[in-house]
Amino acid sequence: MPHWLQWSLIIAGTIAIFVLLGFIRRQMVTLAENRRRQQKAEAFQAKRRKDMVDSIRVIAMAVEEDQIEYSEACLRMKGLLDHVAPELMEQSPYQVFMEVYEQLRHMPTHQARQNTETRFVEKMDKERFEVEKRYADEIRRAATAIRNHSF
């Protein structure tokens, strides 16, 4: 084999090694960045879940101390439980949150309520208070149970 061919192959092999080392380094950096991003996302989700569980407990305490309307508590609990533990709404005593939600979900809230005619709002409030009265004991029991539930 000619001498110039040997040196050409050595140089080509060295270049290939450096190219592959560069590729490997870039892949390692990319993997490290992805791992860091994933850890950050997992930490965010864990904090978000913890905050939702804390909110559930605060709402439950507010129900126990009659500091919140039961209908509002049920609507909020249902929304939070959808994200934290949706399977709980199918279990007793927590299913009352879903039952009340289903009976009240057609009612406008926030700005839509403010834009609704006063007589219609009064009629809906009467219906809402009847639902609250009918489920009051179950709501209180469910609030106590969920406050003590380990998520």
Q: Over the stretch 55-91, which tens digit does the pLDDT of each residue have?
A: 999 999 999 999 999 999 999 999 999 999 999 999 9
Crossing angle (nearest 10°) for helices 70-84 and 118-148: 50
* Nearest one of 100, 63, 130 to 122, comparing CA atoms: 130
**Residue 112: is its pLDDT beyond 80?**
no
What is the pLDDT at residue 118? 81
- Please state, for a pLDDT cut of 70, what percent of the chain lies above it: 100
Two tokens at 83?
């994200």
Say whether pLDDT at 99 is over 90. yes
**The residue type at 111:** Q
pLDDT (0 to 100) of residue 49: 96
Question: How far apart, in whole angstroms, are the C-alpha atoms of residue 99 and residue 92?
Answer: 11
Q: For residue 56, what are its two tokens?
A: 């559930």
pTM: 0.77
> Which of the pair, 29 or 112, is modelled with greater confidence?
29
Q: What is the DSSP letter of 3?
A: H
Task: Break the chain into its structural domains and give their ranges.
Answer: 3-148
At residue 15, the pLDDT reads: 98
| DSSP assignment letter at 55 | H
Q: What is each CA distance from 6 to 1, 11, 54, in whole angstroms?
A: 7, 9, 71
**Residue 109 predicted with pLDDT over 90:** no
The pLDDT assigned to 66 comes to: 94
Can you give the pLDDT at residue 124? 87
pLDDT at 61: 97
Residue-level pLDDT at 48 = 97
Residue-level pLDDT at 116: 76
Q: What is the mean pLDDT of the chain?
A: 93
